[in-house]
Amino acid sequence: MKRITRTVHVACAMAVAGALLAGCGLSDGTKAGQGPGAGMDMQGAAERADAMLYATVGAIKPELEWVHDTTTTGSCDVTRYWTVMTVVSPQRRGDFLGVVESFWKASGYRIKTVNPSKDMPEIYATSPDGFGIMLMFGHEGQAFFEVTSPCVGESKVAAPTKVANGPTYEGATAIPTPNVRSDFWSADTPAPGPAPSS
């Protein structure tokens, strides 16, 4: 059942990302070697996506536990997926999105879409170099990050080089739902103020 749920999530996430990227002009027939990804191959794009994700989770305090998820490639783009293992309660999801949105704005990203839903909020932005980045909540309130590159040159794509700060779940049929408690992010009460810095 979890495997089916995970497959459905990834399929839905890819459909959403595809629709959003199409709206940004990243899937409008641009060929490799043209547009924002000119001069970059899929491996370089994957490394850039990883850097964006590491920077984003590094800006979230208190720290979250997360794991690398799948990597997918299209005809000329690459997408990295990360899964958050920390339980983020419905009462703290707005704060969570706020921290991420503030960091992305400070990084020069353009916020494209914000869904403030209490249960399944999401936010989507684009970087100055044409990468789409998304945070969304799904089944059981699990948070997911994804970054999709613009059209780049074809190449093989290696797994991320840095280890995640949570278990790898190697050999498991699916990454489990969030199972790590945080005194701040998992609290069942609204945050008393801005998220703490440590």
Question: Is residue 72 very low, low, confident or very high in pLDDT (cuts 50, 70, 90)?
Answer: very high
Backbone angles phi, psi at 20, to 5 degrees: -65, -40
CATH 3.30.2030 fits 2-148, yes or no: yes
Question: CA torsion sign, 67 to 98 to 116 to 127?
Answer: negative
**CB atoms closer than 10 angstroms to residue 194:** 10
User: Is pTM, for the whole model, over 0.95?
Assistant: no
Q: Which two tokens stand for residue 19?
A: 């629709």
DSSP type of residue 184: T
- Of the given ranges (68-77, 78-87, 127-136, 168-177), which has the lowest mean pLDDT? 168-177
pLDDT of residue 33: 52
| Residue 144 near residue 25 (C-beta atoms within 8 A) | no
| pLDDT at position 5 over 50 | no
Selected residue with higher pLDDT from 18 and 61: 61
> Domain locations in the chain?
2-148
- Residue 184 class from Cβ within 10 Å (0-12 exposed, 13-18 middle, 19+ buried)? middle
% of the chain residues with pLDDT over 90: 67
For residues 11-32, b (16+ Cβ closer than 10 Å) or e, as one string? Answer: eebbebbbebbeebebbeebeb
Q: What is the mean pLDDT of residues 67-81?
A: 96
